[in-house]
Amino acid sequence: MIIDSHCHLDKLDTSHYTDGFAGLIAAAQANDVSQMLCISVDTEKFDPMMAQIAAYDFIHASAGLHPLSVEHLDCLSLLELQAQHPKVVAIGETGLDYFYQQDNSALQQQAFIAHLRLSKRLAKPVIVHTRSANEDTLRLLREEADQDVGGVIHCFTEDWTMAEACLDLGFYISISGIVTFNSANDLREVVKKIPMQRLLVETDAPYLAPVPHRGQQNEPKHVRLVAQYIADLKGVSLAELATQTSQNFTQLFLSPQ
């Protein structure tokens, strides 16, 4: 069984399923997906997201504000309340994105620090988004992250130097369908080096569908394709990779800190 460690279920179009959202979840289960972590990126959309997944005890949630959603810090008190929901097992998605938006880098950093401190207070791991911001991301993780609580660098696309630095901080690294893209040769070499004991797999659905579905809506069921691809890269069976990444997920998100 495989765990999709990062998906945005509230952003998925389920109209092609007769049973709608339930059909999408059933399709994931039919592809050996046993659990999912549904990621919040906006405090205003948290309640509808939680209502959507409330009936599924195998779907966990996070509470966070995506760096590209940061416009002000007025919502941080609401975020702290949301983070205490019993289904919430992680803080984020948070971090820094200078690729799409650098003019508010100071505000992004303030929000990131607030998430890291909330992660420490609540002993819930942090889910980190970083793009074109390695130096500042590492600096803030070193200054503010609680290594006993830890977290994950999601949808990792950086080089081995960044991966090694994150591993040294005690973080896990999550790989998405990007690893299957023709242009991802450098990432594939990094993935080969990441210890199995520190690896997670994800879809980031509805984004980044793996080959051969690239360009289509991604879904949790496709995490099996990502896992199989990584298993082949590492020269292990799908069952071995699925077992290890599921153990890693449980250790990070579901074990008492």
User: What's the whole-number average pLDDT of the chain?
Assistant: 96
For residue 121, the domain's CATH number is 3.20.20.140
Residue 71 confidence (pLDDT): 81
Q: What is the pTM of this model?
A: 0.96
- What's the average model confidence in pLDDT over 179-189? 98
pLDDT band at residue 257 under the 50/70/90 scheme: low
Residue 130 confidence (pLDDT): 97
Domain count of the fold of the chain? 1
Of the candidates 77, 74, 119, 58, which has an alpha carbon nearest to the alpha carbon of residue 94?
Answer: 119
Residue 125 structural domain: 2-254
Comparing 24-28, 105-109, 196-200, the range with the smallest average pLDDT is 105-109
Residue 28 sits at the vertex; the CA angle it makes with 24 and 29, to the nearest 5 degrees, is: 115
- What's the average model confidence in pLDDT over 11-37? 97
Which residues are CB-contacts of 155 (< 8 A; sequence separation ≥ 6)?
Answer: 6, 129, 174, 175, 176, 178, 202, 204, 208
Residue 70 confidence (pLDDT): 85
pLDDT tens per residue, range 224-242: 999 999 999 999 999 999 9
pLDDT tens per residue, range 141-161: 999 999 999 999 999 999 999
pLDDT tens per residue, range 56-110: 999 999 999 999 888 878 889 999 999 999 999 999 999 999 988 888 899 999 9
- H/E stretch holding 129: strand 126-131
Residue 171 confidence (pLDDT): 98
Residue 229 confidence (pLDDT): 98
Residue 128 confidence (pLDDT): 99
Alpha carbon distance 113, 126 (integer Å): 11
